[in-house]
Structure 1
């Protein structure tokens, strides 16, 4: 019997809804870490019930309040995929403060940029991340205080007074940084309304992806500094009385064992995950799981059906962005699994996104033609539940929303039934193993090297990671081109950018193709349909890209 009513979910903040649901399901598991002997922390796993989580959150909230934290403050957290991430999020949310999650793979200057741009009031880090955090703080002009999450000491006092307004639907809850097309990541401001809209969208599924109240255990190997794990699976659990299972990251060889050990009923994926799992040798573990379905994006149509037949779990494709929160689901038959179908706009005001497919002048294209995907919320408020703004960048916010529609940059087509099919993403974004990498950021880093005259970064296909960073470089001294120079440039970038951003391939050129106005024409770097990796002189540096 369902216990969660519309009144339960009518509260204006995520924390208030969590407390309401915790009163209904106090003994249900809320956050779990499954057992995994090779993980450096919690090798035997752990589970926190709703009641236990509520006690931890209430204690943290009291400690933050004692430190003077509240509305108007942002607390940056370097907490990896640990339960502490959600404990601190809920505590801060209850006070009207915001969380700014930090990618643990960031280099010091990348972290410095986030802390300064977000105007972080405090940085909370794991003990093993304190040294890394301090290196970034040393670069800050006005560094926030640093707090060891394992310390029982009081939080450092807030440096500015908290606001007085009571938190509501429009209060900022989290600041997510997403790679844009013009360089440094942009800070997407998410609100309580954003989180609640995502949760309601999940709860409203009526197809194969329907959630059962109080029963689902969702395993999400994606990082908590992205909305997939940070908002999507989290809010589906909060608003359904379910459990979030937090692995440290994706481990292909232990995937099915982890799912079975943690009793997962739902799992999230990116396209690289099904691809890697299909390459494993068949095993009795292939079906020794309790998955009802898997949710994700980017599975190759060629393996979609074969994966479901082998592992017995439907892969339900979806589309969404940090800016949009919700998206589209292809979870109702026919799912068109032999294509890149990603769902249909259903037209429910306040829940669903409406869509248009347009040309370069924002004119609608004929059915079946390719164009850019534009979206807005159905109903009277086109921005309801979507990101509020790009922090400190009103020009980019206005440009993205020109004409009253959010411009996604993704190329799609739509058939006569309304089904949307993914075609390609913005040419200035490389999608590598689920990470969005801005070509402009990599270009700016390489251009700062004294030997580099020009650079153009594009996406190259990759059989394992979907795409890889491919840098076409013009040196000031052409005779210096060599594999050693390519490695030197990789090291330069790797010291300044997270490990996944430096070029996996380098090609030295005499010049880059340009327009009459000297704008680089990336489309002219290679022949249409050509694989950049097969170009004479392309240097493979992928083996140098290592985490840590």
Structure 2
């Protein structure tokens, strides 16, 4: 497969009448409130026509286009149409604030954008690139992309042609743009298709419900490519809706679903129903389910919940899909022969004994350890070199490995918070909080959260004259709401007289609380989760 568009052509030839993209109905949604379902042949027809429209306007190799289409199926059609020409997509996170969106558009050097109507104003405010609207009434014959600012490069798209730049938070305040190519997408799709065990995909049969955004690689690259390779249907709602979850799964005839750590506890809190185990589901795939409810969830709803591990940079993922799955732990799988090698190392890069905590490092099998991984960070060779050392990709995740090769997640060694599937840079949150007049010093860290896997906590040394109380904490949160997307806001605040530091004045976050202690149970912990949730509703 030289392009994903070629993969679509092959899939439409093999499964022309099989459904490919399904949008469940959702009254009141800004797009397709009645829902839709398109076959592989229908998507190919739409994609070919759209590709010709882009081509006629002059778009081709070396260009980039931002897609602000949320989870509308038009996102997939535009992505594949651009891919046919060698144009790379820059998917837009709709939760980005103005400065975040401005950075994404400027750093990626996107040369145009396609947007749903409700996203246009934000794009206009963030940059001066041309924007083309797309809504349910848009037809290819009405679509008129502007000419690109520079001519397309020579050549035809192939395995190493850039297909997307996807931004992922790191340990610094600025997100890094991971450059992805066709080889990456194919490796990721094959990894999904060939895991087997509880994740066995039946070609031309599965209907996978994916309540995750297209601006992440899970839905937008990995599962999409797996669908092209296996002829399965992607069911993509706008987001997770707890109140209609099971009804939506049944109505769309889903045979599998993806989840984030927040989804299982929400579903478990719902009152039991006689039809809890009446469905056609074969597996759930995701990360972050609490081991305390894992077995109980499977027993109540009669579906295996397969924990996986992966990163934007790796594409491919590891999965605990073969027995014993060890659901009473945070096990996430074993190295996958032919797809991804993994080992656990100490700070010198030496492999540690089984059962000993260390950093997870991974690579591709064969002569090229980077084959099928991301091509690098855009405009950041130093960061790329930092994660690729000694022929291994250093994940920053602390894990153990047992005698059966099973890997088990412990914690992140990087200054990164994982909340409901979103990576949050602690440094970015610190930068946003430090400018408040009440904040003298601040250290941001992750704390466990039963609903969202992890939450954001800020430990603050207040400036003299500012009371270390709930009112001050709320004022700091309100100050940050115009600087951070809502999900990055602190959900917990602890005021301290000082922060533990090294001789060079670096904060020692591991000394902020006693080993094994729950920071949220600290006597001085101020719970801002309700206020944080309200800020999301106000933004919406």
**Structure-1-length-normalised TM-score:** 0.94
Q: What SS is found at the alignment partner of 1:287?
A: coil
The residue number in structure 1 matching 2:419 is 432
| 1:75-104 Cα deviation digits (max 9, x unpaired) | 111111110110110011000010111110
Q: 2:30 & 2:149 partners in 1: Cα distance?
A: 35
The residue number in structure 1 matching 2:291 is 301
The residue number in structure 2 matching 1:104 is 94
Select 2:314's aligned residue among 321, 324, 332.
324
The residue number in structure 2 matching 1:449 is 436
Q: 2:469 & 2:523 partners in 1: Cα distance?
A: 13
Q: What SS is found at the alignment partner of 2:466?
A: helix
Q: What SS is found at the alignment partner of 1:378?
A: coil
Please say if 1:384 is aligned against 2:366: no
| 1:56-75 Cα deviation digits (max 9, x unpaired) | 11121112112221111111
Superposition map of 1:246-395 within 5 A: 246-348=236-338, 352-395=339-382
The residue number in structure 2 matching 1:222 is 212
Whether the aligned pair in 2 keeps the contact of 1:68 and 1:157 (CA below 8 Å) is yes
Q: 2:173 & 2:276 partners in 1: Cα distance?
A: 42
| 1:370-397 Cα deviation digits (max 9, x unpaired) | 1000000111111111100011110010
165-174 or 270-279: bigger deviation: 270-279
Q: What SS is found at the alignment partner of 2:306?
A: strand
Q: What SS is found at the alignment partner of 2:199?
A: coil
The residue number in structure 2 matching 1:14 is 4
Q: Which runs of 5+ in 2 are unaligned?
A: none
Whether the aligned pair in 2 keeps the contact of 1:197 and 1:326 (CA below 8 Å) is yes
1:226/1:20 Cα in 2 relative to 1: closer, same or farther (>3 Å)? same
Q: What SS is found at the alignment partner of 2:99?
A: helix
| 1:131-153 Cα deviation digits (max 9, x unpaired) | 2222222xxxxx31111123524
207-216 or 388-397: bigger deviation: 207-216
| 1:486-539 Cα deviation digits (max 9, x unpaired) | 222212211121110011112222221111111111111111122222223322
Q: 1:453 & 1:66 partners in 2: Cα distance?
A: 57
Please say if 1:465 is aligned against 2:452: yes
Select 1:62's aligned residue among 36, 41, 52.
52
455-464 or 531-540: bigger deviation: 531-540
Q: How many residues align?
A: 530
389-398 or 453-462: bigger deviation: 453-462
1:100/1:55 Cα in 2 relative to 1: closer, same or farther (>3 Å)? same
Q: 2:328 & 2:525 partners in 1: Cα distance?
A: 33
**Structure-2-length-normalised TM-score:** 0.95
The residue number in structure 2 matching 1:74 is 64
Superposition map of 1:192-207 within 5 A: 192-207=182-197
Structure 1 vs Structure 2 CA RMSD: 1.5
Q: Which runs of 5+ in 1 are unaligned?
A: 1-10, 138-142
1:204 shift after superposition? 1.6
Whether the aligned pair in 2 keeps the contact of 1:414 and 1:420 (CA below 8 Å) is yes
| 1:283-308 Cα deviation digits (max 9, x unpaired) | 13412321111111122222222111
1:427/1:153 Cα in 2 relative to 1: closer, same or farther (>3 Å)? closer
Whether the aligned pair in 2 keeps the contact of 1:354 and 1:375 (CA below 8 Å) is yes
| 1:430-463 Cα deviation digits (max 9, x unpaired) | 1111111110110111123344322110112222
The residue number in structure 2 matching 1:236 is 226
